Structure 1
Amino acid sequence: MAGNKAVVYSKPGSVEIRDTDYPELVLKDGPGVNPLNVGRKCEHGVILKVVTTNICGSDQHMVRGRTTAPSGLILGHEITGEVIEVGRDVEFIKKGDLVSVPFNIACGRCRSCRERNTNVCLNVNPDRPGSAYGYVDMGGWVGGQSEYVMVPYADFQLLKFPDKEKAMEKILDLTMLSDIFPTGYHGAVSAGVRPGSTVYVAGAGPVGLAAAHSAQLLGAAVVIVGDLNAERLAQAKSFGCETVNLRENADLAGQIDQILGSPEVDSAIDCVGFEAHGHGKAHGEAPATVLNSIMEVTRAGGSLGIPGLYVTGDPGAVDEDSKIGTLKIRFGLGWAKSHTFVTGQTPVMKYNRDLMMAILSGKAQIAKAVNATLISLAEAPQAYQEFDRGVSRKFVIDPHGLVK
């Protein structure tokens, strides 16, 4: 039996590389696994040899201790791999296929899946609709920041690349299909971005950069990215975005006015989430800041895409309300301006095939936009520390050294 190594959350601020079990086509007991999911047979699944797996800002929330994630949880929901074993009930996916794995696990059989809302599948998480690999309160499906991983519902979920050799040439782009590219694109689509739009993107982390690139693909006339981190803003500027530094100048509407000649945009996208900070040099954590600011700067009748993560349990929150996801939002302002809000996990399967074609045709340059940086599995703990310090990179783990 082959071994397996994985990135494991050990305690707040710390991840480790540990030896772990080689995956089987069954969900076994372990850290974070819902008791009602233990022993769940997955003959509809496959075992993947992981080719690339990415570090996500959502992982970082757990590693900072800002969720109820248990020690020992194997991390990783952004997975691309080669199929090396198929379950008895798998009909169309074959050994040797190179595939992208949507981060949200979906059965393909429930009402939500049939309506293309694979982000809230009803059958994979006993606690509530929706699930993901290696994530707290998501059913306990084992994460993919590892050498090998099991993926259920393979025929329904997996996106097969049509040409393995060509796919490997663009693997740093294609690895983004599991999460951040569809997530950024969903944020832009949800915000109603269209040709000629003016767009504000809150947050210049990897998802924010993916949202900005997506807005450009959708034809936006001007994309403005705001952040407190100058290095990340420089990355946004590198592919044609306007930027606003909210550490140096807290007046978001005023900075937008200087760029557009108007203090409002047509659409806004929140790519920050629940660990948002206030604006200005003396900023502190203020989790409703981004939501309130994007309502302020979005025109009446505009739309707000909110792919940024908000949680129902945050033990490190600044106040008791925020610990359960209750935020002080100026909802009356959004109501008065007739805003449309779209929140929640991205239904990756709604977008990933089209975005794959955009990558393979050369229309999308997502790896360049997010500054994809290849690392080994052993380098993952150091990469988590660098990411936490705000480095403008999207770390891509290559567990087997397969990427040239």
Structure 2
Amino acid sequence: MGGNRAVVYSKPGIVEVRNTDYPELVLKDGPGVNPLNVGRKCEHGVILKVITTNICGSDQHMVRGRTTAPSGLILGHEITGEVIEVGRDVEFIKKGDLVSVPFNIACGRCRSCKERNTNVCLNVNPDRPGSAYGYVDMGGWVGGQSEYVMVPYADFQLLKFPDKEKAMEKILDLTMLSDIFPTGYHGAVSAGVRPGSTVYVAGAGPVGLAAAHSAQLLGAAVVIVGDLNAERLAQARSFGCETVNLREHPNLSEQIDQILGVPEVDCAIDCVGFEASGHGKDHGEAPATVLNSIMEITRAGGRLGIPGLYVTGDPGAVDEDSKVGTLKIRIGLGWAKSHTLVTGQTPVMQYNRDLMMAILSGRAQIAKAVNATLISLDAAPQAYQDFDRGVSRKFVIDPHGLVK
């Protein structure tokens, strides 16, 4: 077989498209691959021809130099593809199947997987529970912002689309099933959104917009989205959300009071994570801002969904505590208000099939909500720069030019 091309993290602020090895059903040594995973045979896996693969805000943390990601790491954990090779031990997935790949890598055999906690699989990352493609400290599984990629544990993990032709007609929606749609939905479910809820979503990036759309699908009465970026807030308003510009109006509870008539919501979702900024025009980075603000404005007994990424290592943090993920959280406030907090990677497989059906039936319009924007593989470096500047787009890479 021929070669491969992939989007590679080069150094802080720089990604490149490089020629790389065509994947095989074995995890080989390379940038970011855990030494204990080198040589791992994957006859339970498949090779995919990548149809779409998306740029994620989580990728940006690495590209900004805010993690310990090594130079040469192949990026990409949001993957949709066509099966072109199957391993000896694959029984149910077939060549030609069009599939969505959950960004969590999960074996299907361990206690966590059997309890549907595929976000913390015990067998795929030698360092700690949980893994993902193309991500630092996640076991070193090669990323999928590429022409071809290997996916292990295919029978367990892959979500097959029932009709390839119909799936390609909605591929810009279905590509969101690998991560941000289930992640946003998990944030809303974790926050306890139900019919009639008032919901605050912190962050109007793609995950925040996905969480807002998910809250609407779950029947929320009012969804309020807060951000510092006017363009992203305009995108939230485009599908019926109320918005708060926290650069212009830093007092969040006052703004919620103006919208709802009370200064609190039933539940809140943190879709920002550890690179949060303080509210107002002159405030810089303040990583505990969102967590503290959502405790302040969520009613007593309410729930907080926290799909926003927090890390144990951040070399670019504003202080020594933050560099190891220690933040100044007002846990006493959360305790006093009897809040429930749900954190961590999203267990994608708990949601992706239902969300697929919502897309195929026309109930969910996630591509419209996140402003899905199709680009070529060669356009990825510029898209990373544009995304870092805050454009309100979800960039979808089409490596082979197959999407109409």
- The answer to whether TM tops 0.5 is yes
Counterpart-to-counterpart distance in 2, 1:172 and 1:251: 36
Alignment of 1:229-268 (within 5 A): 229-268=229-268
SS state at 1:226 partner: strand
Counterpart-to-counterpart distance in 1, 2:392 and 2:250: 22
Counterpart-to-counterpart distance in 1, 2:263 and 2:271: 20
* Deviation, structure 1 residue 2: 1.2
* Deviation, structure 1 residue 399: 0.0
Counterpart-to-counterpart distance in 1, 2:211 and 2:383: 23
Q: Once the two structures are superposed, what CA deviation does each residue of 1:282-310 show, in whole Å capped at 9, x if it has no partner?
A: 02000000000000000000000000000
Counterpart-to-counterpart distance in 2, 1:82 and 1:2: 17
Q: Once the two structures are superposed, what CA deviation does each residue of 1:231-263 show, in whole Å capped at 9, x if it has no partner?
A: 000000000000000000100000000000000
Counterpart-to-counterpart distance in 2, 1:85 and 1:301: 51
4+ residue runs of structure 1 moved beyond 4 angstroms? none
Q: Once the two structures are superposed, what CA deviation does each residue of 1:112-162 show, in whole Å capped at 9, x if it has no partner?
A: 000000000000000000000000000000000000000000000000000
Number of residues paired by the alignment?
Answer: 404
Counterpart-to-counterpart distance in 1, 2:244 and 2:391: 18
Q: Once the two structures are superposed, what CA deviation does each residue of 1:358-400 show, in whole Å capped at 9, x if it has no partner?
A: 0000000000000000000000000000000000000000000
Q: Once the two structures are superposed, what CA deviation does each residue of 1:4-62 show, in whole Å capped at 9, x if it has no partner?
A: 00000000000000000000000000000000000000000000000000000000000
Q: Once the two structures are superposed, what CA deviation does each residue of 1:208-250 show, in whole Å capped at 9, x if it has no partner?
A: 0000000000000000000000000000000000000000010
* Deviation, structure 1 residue 77: 0.0
Counterpart-to-counterpart distance in 1, 2:108 and 2:69: 27
Alignment of 1:4-403 (within 5 A): 4-403=4-403
The answer for unaligned runs of 5 or more in structure 1 is none
Counterpart-to-counterpart distance in 1, 2:19 and 2:250: 47
Counterpart-to-counterpart distance in 1, 2:2 and 2:88: 20
SS state at 2:320 partner: coil
* Deviation, structure 1 residue 170: 0.0
Counterpart-to-counterpart distance in 2, 1:90 and 1:283: 53
Counterpart-to-counterpart distance in 2, 1:366 and 1:252: 27
Counterpart-to-counterpart distance in 1, 2:322 and 2:179: 26
Counterpart-to-counterpart distance in 2, 1:259 and 1:364: 26
SS state at 1:73 partner: coil
* Deviation, structure 1 residue 268: 0.1
SS state at 2:291 partner: helix
Identity of matched residues, %: 93
Q: Once the two structures are superposed, what CA deviation does each residue of 1:314-346 show, in whole Å capped at 9, x if it has no partner?
A: 000000000000000000000000000000000
Q: Scaled by the length of structure 2, what TM-score is found?
A: 1.00
Counterpart-to-counterpart distance in 2, 1:178 and 1:262: 37
Counterpart-to-counterpart distance in 1, 2:88 and 2:154: 11
Counterpart-to-counterpart distance in 1, 2:74 and 2:313: 19
Counterpart-to-counterpart distance in 1, 2:127 and 2:57: 23
* Deviation, structure 1 residue 3: 1.1
Counterpart-to-counterpart distance in 2, 1:93 and 1:106: 16
Counterpart-to-counterpart distance in 2, 1:284 and 1:60: 18
Counterpart-to-counterpart distance in 1, 2:130 and 2:118: 8
Counterpart-to-counterpart distance in 2, 1:242 and 1:113: 38
SS state at 2:188 partner: helix
Counterpart-to-counterpart distance in 1, 2:257 and 2:249: 13
Q: Once the two structures are superposed, what CA deviation does each residue of 1:151-209 show, in whole Å capped at 9, x if it has no partner?
A: 00000000000000000000000000000000000000000000000000000000000
SS state at 1:321 partner: helix
SS state at 2:52 partner: strand
